[in-house]
C-alpha cells in the first residue's frame, strides 16, 4: 500500500484536490469504496487522496474523474487549482 507523501502530504493543493473529489463523490451518492472500485484504485489509497496525503499521479486523477463522470479540468477547477 502507498504511504502518504513525506514531502507533500497535507499541502494546500492536495488537500483542496481531496476535498473536491470528496465533494463530487458525495454529490453523486457514491461511497468511497464504490468510487475506488469504479476507478480501479485501492479504497485505502482513495481515502488518502481525499485526505490530501497522496501526490496523485495524472493517470489516477483521470481514472477518478471518469468514475465521477467529470473531466480532470472540472476536478482541478473545483479545487481552485
Answer positive or negative: Cα dihedral of 16, 20, 21, 23: positive
- Whether residue 7 lies inside any domain: the answer is no
Q: Report pLDDT for 1.
A: 59
Number of compact structural domains in the chain:
1
Is residue 5 one of the residues assigned to a domain? no
pLDDT band for position 5 (cuts 50, 70, 90): low
Structural domain including 30 reads 12-78
- Does pLDDT of 8 surpass 90? no
Measure the CA–CA gap between 48 and 70, rounded to whole angstroms: 20
Q: Long-range contacts: 43-46, Cβ < 8 Å, 24+?
A: 44/1, 45/1, 45/2
SS3 67: helix
Tens digits of residue pLDDT in 15-74: 999 999 999 999 999 999 999 999 999 999 999 999 999 999 999 999 999 999 999 999
Whole-prediction pTM: 0.90
Residue 7 has pLDDT above 80, yes or no: no
17 inside domain: yes
Determine, yes or no, domain membership for 33: yes
Four-point Cα dihedral 11, 45, 75, 17, nearest 10: -10
Amino acid at each position: 500500500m502507498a504511504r502518504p507523501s513525506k514531502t507533500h502530504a497535507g499541502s494546500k493543493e492536495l488537500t483542496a484536490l481531496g476535498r473536491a473529489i470528496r465533494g463530487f463523490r458525495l454529490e453523486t451518492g457514491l461511497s468511497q469504496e464504490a468510487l475506488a472500485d469504479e476507478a480501479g484504485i485501492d479504497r485505502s489509497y482513495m481515502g488518502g487522496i481525499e485526505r490530501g496525503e497522496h501526490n496523485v499521479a495524472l493517470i489516477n486523477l483521470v481514472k477518478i474523474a471518469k468514475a465521477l463522470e467529470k473531466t480532470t479540468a472540472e476536478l482541478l477547477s473545483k479545487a481552485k487549482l
